[in-house]
Amino acid sequence: MNHHPRLLLIGGGAGSGKTSLARAVSQQLPGTGLVHLDLCYHQDPARAPSVPRLDGHPGRVVDFSDPLALDFDRIEAALAEHADASTLLTIAEGIFALTLKQLAARASWTVFVDTPADLRVVRKTMRKLTEGKDPLPGLRGYAHTAHAFERYVAPTRQAASLVLDGTLPTQDQAAALIKHLNLSLASLTSRDGMPGPT
């Protein structure tokens, strides 16, 4: 019989700091599993929404700015890897973490990392340069990804159980999130006698 740990979703725009926050929280809370939704996209453009290549080569690539490009079977498999008694909390982080209704319905907490667009672009560009990758294709596609953010991601801010300022240091955000979790769990335990991660 599978164990079902509590699920925490962290969403926000690309470059908002979701991954850094998720890692910081998982390092401070023993028994935490971590799922990166960036690793759960379809890779074949024939099986997902697609766009023309922006690197000068012919053909099409998967449109990673569309939530339908996510492979939910891969997401389920990633979550199942943490369905054991040693995992008290699973964090799933990604651009569309709060957009996917299948995930949001199962989540105990939903967090939106709110970071200005200009800072997100700078962070993404610096990350590409640090990784030795060409940032130009991403910059050329900025208009498309910005539209996708406004359509799919920004609206999820209103429904999030916690909104964090993505301009703050990661450790400050992690501390605020852990405090939020502890207060929520204390309230549940007091009301229903439900145990949770400590």
* CATH code, domain carrying 138: 3.40.50.300
- What does the alpha-carbon distance between residue 67 and residue 152 come to, in Å, rounded to a whole number? 8
Q: Are strands 6-11 and 89-93 parallel, antiparallel or unpaired?
A: parallel
Q: Give the model confidence (pLDDT) of 136-185 as tens digits.
A: 777 776 777 888 999 999 999 999 999 999 999 999 999 999 999 999 88
Q: Is residue 63 in some structural domain?
A: no
Residue 117: which domain range?
Answer: 6-38+72-192
Q: Is residue 173 in some structural domain?
A: yes
- What does the alpha-carbon distance between residue 82 and residue 66 come to, in Å, rounded to a whole number? 26
Name the 3-class secondary structure at 101.
Answer: helix
Shortest CA distance to 164 belongs to which of 35, 25, 15, 17?
Answer: 17
Beta bridge partners of 92: 9, 35
pLDDT band at 102 (very low <50, low <70, confident <90, very high): very high
Q: Is residue 31 in some structural domain?
A: yes
Q: Is residue 119 in some structural domain?
A: yes
Q: Is residue 45 in some structural domain?
A: no
Beta bridge partners of 76: none
Q: Is residue 46 in some structural domain?
A: no
Q: Is residue 1 in some structural domain?
A: no
Q: Is residue 51 in some structural domain?
A: no
Q: Are strands 6-11 and 32-36 parallel, antiparallel or unpaired?
A: unpaired
Residue 28 has pLDDT above 50, yes or no: yes
Domain count, the chain: 1
